[in-house]
Amino acid sequence: MTVSPEHVCNQALAIDASPALGPDVPDQMPSVGADDIPDALETAPRGGIPWHHVSRFTTATVVICAVILWQVISDLHVFPPIALPSPVAVWLAFIKLLTKGYGGHSLVDDIVTSSLRIAIGFGGAVLAGVPIGLLMARNDLVFRVIDPFLQFGRPVPPLAYIPLLVVWFGIGELPKILLILVGTIPVIIIGTISGVKATPILRVSVAQTLGASEAQIFCHVILPSALPEIFTAMRVGIGVAWTCLVAAELIAADQGLGWLVQYAGQALQVAIVIVGIIVIGILGYAMELTIRVVERRVVPWRGHG
């Protein structure tokens, strides 16, 4: 994966710092002398419309308009109701899924099942991937041993492993967790390595002249320096993990959100399929948000050098 941290960061900040702020926003202050000039430019009131409120309002408006449009289209019977149920029908399906469930278990069961698989698979990938990445970055021999597997594994879409995993391990929990692990771990390892390699050399020199040993430099300088990139990798990785899991559940499972979508689809229960898709989307987004919150606590200096 070659997703630059800036890129992911920009995506993450897209809502707060939208380029549509308008022409009255002053440019970044020049760095020369920035030191002594008070923050007059930055704190000066922009005047006029509070743009970030407008952009939040815009998001809500767009969502509401989309739902209304959806309702109108389904009311007009442009498509048969079985193919495009109305938002109301989807809402009712959601309530039914919550209370009565579908295919033997409730929506909550499916959510818990899928979330547990993700937690174990992704947690395992981080717990194994970060130390492996650190070792590979520090030790040339370890790098040479593991790198070929990584280079081979990267271009293979994780979904291609599903048939193999089913043959080997059936449709239980193990193959799904393994698939998440196999799909996510390269992202974590590569992010960790690049985090270590991105440690500014002078940051290390400073520690050396202050008398730090190799081990101390590793713990107190290199590891914290690598953390921002490790978090970027985790954010990319959680998306990959979620995709892997849902795909695995689509193909071979008897429980979970992917299974729900697949099972309902076969019975032409499109409203349930749509509920499943929305829940999958929301959960995936929530996981990324969770990591972002943890990241903000663990690496508050991110973006500040």
Partner 1 sequence: MPIVVERVRKDFGRHRALDDVSLTIEDGTFVTILGASGCGKSTLLNLIAGLLTPTKGRILLDDVPIMKPGPDRVVVFQQPWLYPWLSLRDNIAFGLRMRRAAGIDWGRVDEVIGIMGLKGFEGHHPYELSGGMQQRVAIARALVMNPRVLLMDEPFGALDAQTRHRMQKFLLELWGKIGATIVFVTHDIDEAIMLGDRLVVMRSRPGRIAVETRVPLPRARHWDMTLDPAFLYLKRQAMAVLGE
Q: Cβ closer to partner 1: 2 or 31?
A: 31
Of 23, 26, 28, 35, the one binding partner 1 by CB under 8 A: 35
Helix pair 257-266, 270-298: axis angle to 10 deg = 160
DSSP classification of residue 159: G
The reply on whether position 10 binds partner 1 by CB under 8 A is no
Burial of residue 186 (number of CB atoms within 10 Å: 0-12, 13-18, 19+) = buried
- The CA–CA distances, whole Å, from 151 to 146, 160, 182 equal 9, 16, 13
What distance in Å separates the CA atoms of residue 101 and residue 95, rounded to the nearest whole number?
9
The reply on whether position 4 binds partner 1 by CB under 8 A is no
Question: What are the backbone angles phi and psi of residue 91, rounded to the nearest 5°?
Answer: -60, -45
The reply on whether position 301 binds partner 1 by CB under 8 A is yes
The reply on whether position 304 binds partner 1 by CB under 8 A is yes
Q: Between 190 and 219, how does the x/- string for binding to partner 1 read (CB under 8 A)?
A: ----------x-xx-xxxxxxxxx--x---
Q: Between 219 and 248, how does the x/- string for binding to partner 1 read (CB under 8 A)?
A: -xx--x--x---------------------
Q: Contact at 8 Å (CB) between 176 and 113?
A: no
DSSP classification of residue 44: S
Q: Cβ closer to partner 1: 199 or 243?
A: 199
Q: Cβ closer to partner 1: 61 or 216?
A: 216
Q: Contact at 8 Å (CB) between 113 and 249?
A: no
Q: Cβ closer to partner 1: 59 or 205?
A: 205
Q: List interacting residues with partner 1 (CB under 8 A).
A: 32-36, 200, 202-203, 205-213, 216, 220-221, 224, 227, 299-301, 304-305
